[in-house]
Structure 1
Amino acid sequence: MEQPLTAKEQRQILWRLLSYMKNEKRTAILAFFLLITATTLELVGPYLVKVFIDDYLIPRHLALRPLIVIATIYIGTVIIKVVVTYFQLVKFQEIALRVIQQLRIDVFTKMHGLSMRYFDKTPGGSIVSRVTNDTEAIKEMFVEVLASFVQNGVFVCGIFVTMFLLDVKLALYCLFLLPFIWWLIQTYRHYSSIFYKEMRERLSELNAKLNESLQGMAIIQVFRQEERLQKEFAKINDLHYRAGVKNIKLDGLLLRPAINVVYVVSIMVVLSFFGLSALESPVKVGVLYAFINYLERLFEPINQMMMRLSFYQQAIITGSRLFAFLDLTELAPKTKPSSAAISKGKIEFRNVSFSYDGKQDVLKNISFTVQPGETVALVGHTGSGKSSIVNLLMRFYEFDRGDILIDGISICDYSNAELRKNIGLVLQDPFLFYGTIRDNIRMYKQLTDEQIIEAARLVQAHEFIEKLPKQYDHLVVERGAAFSSGQRQLIAFARTLASNPKILVLDEATAHIDTETEEAIQQTLSNMRKGRTTIAIAHRLSTIQDADQILVLHRGEIVERGTHQQLLAQRGLYYSMYILQNGKIDVENCI
C-alpha cells in the first residue's frame, strides 16, 4: 500500500486548491460575510430564551411589551438566518462550480500538452477519471467542507465566548474536551487518507478497464474473453469495495459515535457542576438551559465537521492526484518562438537516433534527403522503424541524437503551428471526430464548401457522401463507426488534402481502400505530389513503384536505398519482399 500523505503535504494541497478561488475574491468575501452573519444569528436564539426564562418567566414578570420585543427579535433572527443561509449556500455553490470548471480546463489543457510517451504507458480510462470523478470530488470540498468548517468553526468559537459570559468556571471545564476531540479528528484524518487514496486508485483502474473493454469489444467477443475480463473487473471492484468497507468501519467508529460519547460526558460534567452548585446557592434555570443548549449546539457542528472530514479527505486525495497530473514533466516537444516559415518542403535527416525507453535504439543513424516535390517511400518489416521516422518528423517525440531539417532549418526552430500547418498526415487507422462529414473535412479551418467538396472529389469520396441522407451534413458517430474502413480513410484523406500542405506524410494511406478505388486515386495522388514533398510508408510495394527513392529499413537502420528498379537489381531485402508479395519476377525485364 502507498504511503499516506503527510500533514505537510495535505496542507500544501489544500492551499493549492484554495488558490483557485483567487479569481472569485468578491464572491468569496460576500459568501463568508453571509456565512458569519448566519452563524451569529444562530447564536442569538438560546441567549434570548435564557433572558426570557431568567428575567421574565422565573420572576413571573410577564410584561406584554418586552415579551413582544423578545419574540419579535427571535422570529426575526430565524427568518433573516434562513434568507442569509440560502444566499450563502448559493454563493458557495457558484464558487465551487467555477473552481471545478477551471480545474477541468487545466487538466484538459495539460492532457493536450503531454508527450506521446505518457499516453503510451497510461490507460485512457485513468485520464478520464482525472477529469470527471476527481474534479467532482473536489467540488464537494468547496460546497460541503469549506462552508461547513468556517461556519462551524465560527459557531464553536461563538459558543465558547457565550459560555464564558454565562459561567467562566464551567466554560473552563468544557475546554478540557477540546484536546480529545482534536485527537479524534487527527486519527480519523490519518487513516481515512489511506483508505480514500486506495479507493480512488481502484476507481481509476475500474475506469481504465471499462475503457479498454469498450475500445476492444469486437476482439473480446471474437476471442470469447468476456469471462476473463469480467473476472478482472470483479477483482478490481472487490478491492474498491474492501477499501470502502474499511472506511465505513472507520466512520462508524470515529465519527458520530465517538463524539456522542464525549457529548454524554460533557452533559454529565455540566449537570454535576450545577448539582453541586445548587447545594450552596440557587441555580439559574435559564443559565442551565443555555449551557445544555449550547453544549448540544457545540457538538452538533463538531459532528458535522467530523462527518465532512470524509469529503475533505476525498478532496485532498483527489487533489494530490490532479496536481500530480498537472505537474507532469513528460511534455510534448517544445519549440522556441520563431517566425521561420516552411517554403519549399525539403526534408533532411542527419544521423538521427531515437529510443522510446531510453535504452534500446529503434532508429540508428538515419540519414536521407527528400528534395522538394520528391516522393520517398519507407518499406521494411514490422518494427523496422518506419513509423518512428514519421513520429519524429511530426514532433510527436523528441529525437535523441542527430537533427531533422526542413528547408535547411531544424524542426526544433519551427513553431508547432508552422509544422502542423504545412505537414499533412494520413494514418493507416483514420480517426474521425463526432460531428458532421463537413466538419471532419474542414477541421474548423477557413474553408469554403466548394473547397471541401473539391477535396472530397479528388479522393473519390464525393460519390459515396452524396448518397448519404444528409450528404456532407451527415452525422459522424464516435470514431466514424457507422462507416466502412475505406470510407473513413477517404474522409481522412480529403481532410488532409483540404488543408493544402507542402509536405505529405502517408502511413499506408490506402491500406483500407479497395483495389478499384485505389487505382482510381493513384493518378490523383500522383498529381497531388507535384510540388509537394511526400513521405509514404508502404507495405504493399506495388503502390510505391513510382517513388523517386525507396528506403528499406531493417532493425532501425537503412540497409538499402534506390528506385524500384535499382533495388530489384540488387536482389537484396527489397527484392525478397517483392518476391513474397508478387511471386517470381523477371528482373531483367523490370530494369
Structure 2
Amino acid sequence: MDPILIKIFIDDYLTPRQFPFEPLLWLAILYVVLHVSAVFINYFQAFMFQKISLKIIQELRVDVFSNVEKQGLAFFDQTPAGALISRITNDTESIKEFYLTVLANFVQNGLFLVGIFIAMFYLNPTLGLFCLVLLPIIFGLMQWYRKLSSKFYADMSEKLSQLNAKMNETIQGMAIVQMFRQERRLRKEFSEVNEDHFQAGIKSMKLDGLLLRPLVDLISILALILVLSYFGVTSFVSPVEIGVLYAFVNYLDRFFEPVNQMMMRLSLFQQAIVSAGRVFKLMDHKMYAPAKHGSDSPAINDGVIEFKNVSFSYDEKTEVLKNISFTVKKGETVALVGHTGSGKSSIINVLMRFYELRKGDIFIDGKSIHEFENKELRENIGLVLQDPFLYTGTISSNIRLYREGLTEEEIKKAAEFVHANEFIEKLPNSYSAAVTERGSTLSSGQRQLLSFARTIATNPKILILDEATANVDTETEEAIQDALKKMQKGRTTIAIAHRLSTIKEADQILVLHKGEIIERGNHAELLKQKGLYHKMYLLQKGSSSLEVNA
C-alpha cells in the first residue's frame, strides 16, 4: 500500500502543486497506521510461528524417540548409536529451522507477492501481466537448485551422522583408546570424515553462491530494464505519470526482495527436506521388539522353563543355537558353560525375548513364550549382566529404576540382601549419593552389587545370571555367593559361568560348543565323562586340584 499512497501524493497533490490540509492529513495518518500495524502483525506472526514450530518439533522428537525405544535389539545391532543421536537431535533441529525460518518466510513473502501483483494490475495490467510471467522463471530456478543441491545436503547429513558415530564410539571406549595409544589413528579417521563433511559443505556453498542471489539479481535487472523501456516507449505516444512510474519501479523492487529472501532460504529448505527424509525413514522402521502372539495373557507362577528344539540365527544365515533342548524346574539351578561364541548369551537373549525365535519353542510354566506379555516377562525374570549399566541419578534411583511401588525400606532391604549396604552407607549422602553416567565413579564390583540389588528388589520368579560375579573380588564374591544361595531358593535359575568354581553346586550343567549342547550333568558327573568340561576344569584348577576335588 505504501507505493500507492506515495503515487497518490505525487500525482494528485505534488505534481499539480495542490496541498489541501485535511486530505494530506488523512493520507499521512493512513501511512503511519500502516507502518505501526505492520510492526504488531510481524511480531504476532513471528511469535505464533515460533510457538507452533517448537511444539511440532517437541512432539516429533518424542515420537521419534518412542519409536526407537520400540525397536528390537536386532535394529541396534545394525545401527550406530551416533547415527541415531544425529537423527533425533541434528535432523530434528534442521526441521525446526524449516518451520521457524523457511515456512514463516515463504508464507509471509507469498502473501506479500499476492498483494504486490494486485497493486501492479491496479496500476498497469500490461506490466502486471509481464511480471506474472517472471514467476515460472523463478519457480524453475528453485526446482533446478533443489535438484542439484539435494545430493550435497544428503551427503552432509550422512557425514554428520558418521562424525557423531565416531565421536560416540571414541568417547565410550576412551580407556581402551588411551591404553593402546590409538589417539593418532582415531584423530586421523575423524579428520577424514570431517574433511568429507567440509567438502560437501563447500560444494553446497558454491551452488548457493551461483544460483541463489546472483541469478535472481540478474533477472531483476533485466526486468527493470524492460519496465523502464516500456515507459520510455510509451512516453513518445502519451504522457507518463511520474507517480505510476515510481510506484511500479518500487513494486518491482519489492517483488524481487521477497523472491530473494525465499531463494536465500532454499538452502535451509533443502537441508530440512533431507533431514525430514532421514527422520521419517527412522520413524518408518518396523524392526520392533518381539511381542506376544494370540489373545491369551498367561501369568508366570512357578517359573518352570523348557527349551524345546530351539535353533536361532542373528542374521538368518549362520545358526548360533542348534536344536537346544533342556528343562529347568522350580528351585533348580542350571549353569551354562562353554568357550567364547558357544551360544551361552544367545540362550539368554531368546529366553528374554530380545529376539524373535524362528525354530523350536520356549515354554514357561507350560505356556509358549510367544503368549506372554512383555510386561509379564520383564517383571518375573531378573537379569544380572556381566557389565551392569547404571544411569545418572542416585544410588536409590538406580536400585528403584523409577518403579514407584518400591519404598525406600524395600530398597535398603534389597541392598542389605546382597551386601551392597556395606559400601553404600560409607558414601557421602548414602542412598542419595550421586551416580554419574554409567556409574563411572564406582568400582566394577560396586556397580555389580547395585545390579544385584536392583534385580532382587523386584522379587523375580526366574533369575538369570550372566557371569554375575566376574567383576567382584574374592571377599565380595563369597558374600554374593551366600546371597545367591538365598536368591536361588525357590526360584528357577540359569547361570552363565566362565569360572567353573562358581557353579559346582548347580543341579545341572550344560556344556555348549558351537551352538550345541555336547555334555550335560552335574559337576561330578561331567568330571567323570572326561570331556570338554573336564578339560576346562583342568585348565582353571590344575591336575592336582582335580585329584583333590574328585
List alignment gaps of at least 5 residues for structure 1: 1-43
1:575 aligns with 2:534: yes
Counterpart of 2:251? 294
1:386 aligns with 2:344: yes
Q: What TM-score does the superposition give when structure 2 sets the normalisation length?
A: 0.98
| Aligned counterpart in structure 1 of residue 521 of structure 2, from 545, 549, 562 | 562
1:167 aligns with 2:124: yes
Counterpart of 1:314? 271
2: CA distance, partners of 1:560 / 1:381: 13
- Are residues 62 and 338 of structure 1, via their aligned partners in 2, closer, same or farther at CA, if it must alter by over 3 Å? farther
- Are residues 73 and 571 of structure 1, via their aligned partners in 2, closer, same or farther at CA, if it must alter by over 3 Å? same
Q: Secondary structure at the match of 1:133?
A: helix
Counterpart of 2:460? 501
Q: Is the 8 A contact 2:510 2:521 kept in 1?
A: yes
Counterpart of 2:394? 436
| RMSD (CA atoms) | 1.1
Counterpart of 2:135? 178
**Which segments of structure 1 move beyond 4 Å, counting only runs of 4 or more?**
585-591
| Aligned counterpart in structure 2 of residue 354 of structure 1, from 312, 325, 332 | 312
Counterpart of 1:530? 489
Q: Is the 8 A contact 2:538 2:546 kept in 1?
A: no
Q: What TM-score does the superposition give when structure 1 sets the normalisation length?
A: 0.91
Q: Secondary structure at the match of 2:331?
A: coil
1:585 Cα deviation after fit: 4.7
1:47 Cα deviation after fit: 1.3
Could you tell me which amino acid in structure 1 is paired with residue 312 of structure 2? Answer: F
1: CA distance, partners of 2:548 / 2:194: 66
| Aligned counterpart in structure 2 of residue 229 of structure 1, from 183, 186, 189 | 186
2: CA distance, partners of 1:520 / 1:167: 95
1:59 Cα deviation after fit: 1.6
Q: Is the 8 A contact 1:565 1:590 kept in 2?
A: no
1:521 Cα deviation after fit: 2.2
1:178 Cα deviation after fit: 2.4
Q: Secondary structure at the match of 1:176?
A: helix
1:113 aligns with 2:96: no
2: CA distance, partners of 1:172 / 1:327: 46
1:433 Cα deviation after fit: 0.5
Counterpart of 1:282? 239
Could you tell me which amino acid in structure 2 is paired with residue 462 of structure 1? Answer: N
Counterpart of 1:370? 328
2: CA distance, partners of 1:493 / 1:588: 34
1:511 aligns with 2:511: no
2: CA distance, partners of 1:236 / 1:590: 58
1: CA distance, partners of 2:61 / 2:527: 56
- Are residues 53 and 406 of structure 1, via their aligned partners in 2, closer, same or farther at CA, if it must alter by over 3 Å? same
1: CA distance, partners of 2:96 / 2:479: 56
1:172 Cα deviation after fit: 2.1
Q: Is the 8 A contact 1:569 1:587 kept in 2?
A: no
Q: Secondary structure at the match of 1:348?
A: strand
Instruction: Work out the percentage of aligned pairs sharing the same amino acid.
Output: 60
2: CA distance, partners of 1:361 / 1:154: 63
Counterpart of 1:201? 158
1:266 Cα deviation after fit: 0.8
Counterpart of 2:229? 272
Counterpart of 1:134? 91
2: CA distance, partners of 1:73 / 1:161: 19
Q: Is the 8 A contact 2:328 2:334 kept in 1?
A: yes
1:452 Cα deviation after fit: 0.8
- Are residues 166 and 114 of structure 1, via their aligned partners in 2, closer, same or farther at CA, if it must alter by over 3 Å? same
Query: For each residue in 1:449-508, what CA deviation from the matched residue of structure 2 results, as whole angstroms up to 9, or x when unmatched?
Result: 111111111111101110101100000000000000000000111000011100000000
Q: Secondary structure at the match of 1:228?
A: helix
Query: For each residue in 1:506-530, what CA deviation from the matched residue of structure 2 results, as whole angstroms up to 9, or x when unmatched?
Result: 0000100101111122122111111
2: CA distance, partners of 1:465 / 1:392: 34
| Aligned counterpart in structure 1 of residue 377 of structure 2, from 419, 434, 447 | 419
1: CA distance, partners of 2:146 / 2:427: 60
2: CA distance, partners of 1:588 / 1:566: 15
1:251 Cα deviation after fit: 0.7
Could you tell me which amino acid in structure 2 is paired with residue 569 of structure 1? Answer: K
Counterpart of 1:17? none
Q: Is the 8 A contact 1:338 1:415 kept in 2?
A: no
Q: Secondary structure at the match of 1:368?
A: strand
Q: Secondary structure at the match of 2:265?
A: helix
1:180 Cα deviation after fit: 2.1
1: CA distance, partners of 2:272 / 2:95: 5
1:537 Cα deviation after fit: 0.2
Counterpart of 1:399? 357
1:294 Cα deviation after fit: 0.4
1:250 aligns with 2:207: yes
1:111 Cα deviation after fit: 1.1
2: CA distance, partners of 1:468 / 1:290: 78
Q: Is the 8 A contact 2:50 2:100 kept in 1?
A: yes
- Are residues 143 and 586 of structure 1, via their aligned partners in 2, closer, same or farther at CA, if it must alter by over 3 Å? closer
